[in-house]
Amino acid sequence: MNVGIIGSGGREHAICYMLNKSKKVSEIFCFPGNAGTGMIAQNISLNPDNFHELEKYCLEKKIKMLVVGPEKPLVNGIVNHFKDKSIRVFGPDKISSKLEGSKIFTKKICKKKNIPTSKFKICENLNETIDFLENSNFPLVIKADGLASGKGVYICKDFNEAKIASEEIFNGKFGVAEQILIEEFLDGEEMSYFIVTDGKNYKFFGSAQDHKRVDEGDKGKNTGGMGCYSPSRLLNDDLEFKIKTKIIEPTLSAINEFGGNYKGFLYVGLMIKNGEPFLIEFNVRMGDPECQTILPTLNTDLIDIFTSCCDGTLKQLEINFSKSKSICVVLCSKGYPEKFEKNIEIKNLDQLKLLENENIFHAGTLKTKTGIVSNGGRVLNFVSTSDDFLKSRIRVINLIKKLNWKNGYYRRDIGHKVIKI
């Protein structure tokens, strides 16, 4: 079968790598992909938000399945566009994607289904927001409702910060804002939990802990993710039972009641406090870099998972993961997440000899006539799996040192909570 993958990050390169290993997959096309996917698949530079153009191309190249990496095409309704056509799309439909596309939609589901989450208030305009904030205790969390590329969340320690955040949101920093979400601040430890579902049944798809801050010790600016370890140290049978029964199952049932059809990955962003899970957010896709961290531990053919979700036969499929400890360290451009240079050559990449259980997944890279250059903030993902987190991290860091990319920056402490040295 010919398969198309939408997206250009490390997540999509990891998906591409796994599909390329499958005997059931013939050609892979990436829309638009990166230098890494270009080595094992065909990169196609058409705009994947133009569903008509995409459809035409898929028909021409006999692409029978599209796998959607990022949230935007899902929220924009790519699954609905391809409904009843000969091309299957792995991903949730437009209604279901509101779980990520509208934080207020998700909060309303939490309220309806009694799902544990932070207390919240929805305000309709700036005056109402300010009135509410004047009578609130801090810290508080203020959120823009819609997609904001991970930037629409403000943790506010006092009234002034909250006022500025609310003004920015209502002034349209993240698009037209008709409402705003104010949340109680939850303390605890974060964990990412993943499932895959065909709309009727769901299965576990890994757990992970992302390190979002740019500096070691989890300090500094927020980023898209500087590295990750999997499995999460917090997961146990009791917690997992609570996550499934109190959060995932009521949510999937609410989506069905709304008439949604959820086929795809669901990323459950949680805060764990005293052994209790609280929902922070849903994403309707795999995480990045969680995907790069988890997929190398998957023993089941990934195309079988995608196919069974599209066909509604997930119940019959067994999904197996190895028991390995996986670490992913992101090599980013110096200066990220603020100002950084692009188009810096990455020499030696093809000289690195990878052992079994080692992977390099590309993110912001581009192949030019002279070689591979950086093309974004997060550039390469180095992943290693072994029976021990420390061993995995040492291997990854040795590889990064061997590459010796002068414009690169990375955190040496990924997984510090599970690695005591």
Among 232, 251, 283, 407, binds ligand GLY (CB under 6 A): 283
Comparing CA positions, the residue from 222, 173, 211 lying closest to residue 337 is 222
Using rule CB under 6 A, residue 10 touches ligand GLY? no
Partner interacting with residue 141 (select from ligand AMP, ligand GLY, none; CB below 5-8 Å by kind): ligand AMP
| Contact positions with ligand GLY (CB under 6 A) in 207-226 | 210, 225
Does 290 bind ligand GLY (CB under 6 A)? Our answer is yes
Distance CA 261, CA 278 (A): 24
From 284, 279, 306, select the one nearest 94 (Cα to Cα). Answer: 284
Token duo for residue 326? 């996986």
Cα angle, residue 281 at apex, residues 262 and 316 outer, rounded to 5° = 35
Beta carbon of residue 282, minimum distance to ligand GLY (angstroms, whole number): 11
* x-or-dash string of contact with ligand AMP, 100-119, rule CB under 6 A: ------------------x-
Strand partners, 88: 65
Least distance to ligand AMP, CB of residue 142, Å: 10
Distance CA(115)–CA(106), nearest Å, equals: 10
Binding mask 135-154 for ligand AMP (x = CB under 6 A): ------x--------x--x-
CB nearer ligand AMP, residue 99 or residue 280? 280
Length of the chain: 421
Sign of the torsion formed by the C-alpha atoms of 106, 112, 117 and 123: positive
Cβ-based nearer residue to ligand GLY, 123 or 377: 377
**Binding pattern for the stretch 172-211 against ligand GLY, x by CB under 6 A and - elsewhere:** --------------------------------------x-
In this structure, are residues 367 and 340 in contact, taking their beta carbons and an 8 Å threshold? Answer: no
Amino acid identity, residue 74? Answer: L
Is residue 345 within the footprint of ligand AMP (CB under 6 A)? no
Q: How far is the CB of 159 from ligand GLY (least distance, A)?
A: 29
Q: Which residues ranging from 215 to 274 are in contact with ligand AMP (CB under 6 A)? A: 269
Cα gap 87→244, rounded to integer Å? 31
Part of the chain binding ligand GLY (CB under 6 A), chosen from 135-143, 281-289, 332-340, 407-415: 281-289
Residue 248 CB partners (closer than 8 Å, separation 6+): 195, 202, 266, 268
CB nearest ligand GLY: which residue?
A: 287
235's contact among ligand AMP, ligand GLY, none, with CB below 5 to 8 A by partner kind, is: none
Q: What's the token pair of residue 250?
A: 């009521």
186 lies in the binding site for ligand AMP (CB under 6 A): yes
- Which of the choices ligand AMP, ligand GLY, none does residue 287 contact, using the CB cut-off of 5 to 8 A by kind? ligand GLY
Residues 6+ apart with CB under 8 A from 300: 317, 318, 319, 320
Q: Smallest gap, in angstroms, from Cβ of residue 70 to ligand GLY?
A: 9
In sequence order, what E strands does 274-377 have? 276-283, 325-333, 358-362, 365-367, 372-374
Cα angle 279, 303, 255 (rounded to 5 degrees) comes to 35
By CB under 6 A, residue 230 contacts ligand GLY: no
Alpha-carbon distance of 339 to 411, in angstroms, equals: 18
Nearer to ligand GLY, 38 or 225 (CB): 225
Residue position matching structure tokens 């209604």 = 95
| Minimum CB–partner distance for residue 287 and ligand GLY (Å) | 4
- In this structure, the strands spanning 213-215 and 219-222 are antiparallel
Residue ranges in contact with ligand GLY by CB under 6 A? 210, 225, 283, 287-288, 290
Residue ranges in contact with ligand AMP by CB under 6 A? 118, 141, 150, 153, 155, 183, 185-186, 190, 269, 280-281
